[in-house]
Amino acid sequence: MSRSARLFEIIQLLRNADRPILAREIAAALEISIRTVYRDIASLQAMQTPILGEPGVGYVMRKGYDLPPINLDVEEAEAISVGLSLIARTGDPGLWRSAGRAARKLHEAAPGTRRLPTSAWGIERCATVNLSEVRQAIRSEKKMAIKYCDVEGRETKRTIWPLFLIYYVDAGLIVAWCELREALRHFRLDRIARSSIQSDDFVGLGGPLVEKWEETQMAGVLPTREL
């Protein structure tokens, strides 16, 4: 565990405690030495973190202390967004409601994360598509070239404008505007033989297409086996 992560965990332990915590308890929880705990507490106090107490007595955090904002990079925000969606798997309504509130806050701070909806179960990893590349194309509104095999086994080469990446129970899908069909289409990841980001973009044109798809599709369930 890095020092910064360790300091963060100590703050979390103290914020969530309802009584003074001894150094040996912190050491046991984080699997570190008591001497390291004393050193970390001293460092936090030197940084004006309102930790009260002393060795042998225990430590408490002054009420009302909030952690500073956490700066996330784009992929970290996307990972959290997908993880919050997957909390539905727990079957815990209260946890799901809390995850929904957290997701809304995250979406306000990083609007692109709302384009990564999930179902309650997972799918097999797709070896032919670089999902980081797909998410990059969605964020930057870059066109993609794909080689696609439909349900009847016909292969076509397409240029698409990727709008959403959806993690459904039995398949992952890219929702995109298809230049070949001149319409919104859903492409199963496991039927894409090859994909690449193109230099051409559709900047400024994705928003209306996103709204159109949400109006017509988000209320229903897509029959992924038929796509």
Grouping H, G, I as helix, E, B as strand and the rest as coil, residue 182 is coil
Residue 66 lies inside a defined structural domain of this protein:
no
Residue 119 lies inside a defined structural domain of this protein:
no
Q: How many domains does the chain have?
A: 3
E strand or H helix that includes residue 217? helix 206-217
Are residues 160 and 102 located together in one domain of the fold?
A: no
Q: pLDDT tens for the chain, 227 residues: list them.
A: 778 888 888 988 898 888 999 999 999 999 899 999 999 999 998 888 899 988 888 999 887 666 556 667 778 888 888 888 877 665 557 767 777 778 877 777 777 777 777 665 556 667 788 888 998 999 899 999 999 998 888 999 999 999 998 877 677 889 999 999 999 999 999 999 999 999 999 999 999 999 899 888 755 545 555 55
The domain that contains 27 carries what CATH number?
A: 1.10.10.10
User: Where in the sequence is the domain holding 106, given as residue range(s)?
Assistant: 74-114
Half-sphere exposure at residue 91, Cβ-oriented, CA atoms within 13 angstroms: 0
The type of residue at 3 is R
Residue 56 lies inside a defined structural domain of this protein:
yes
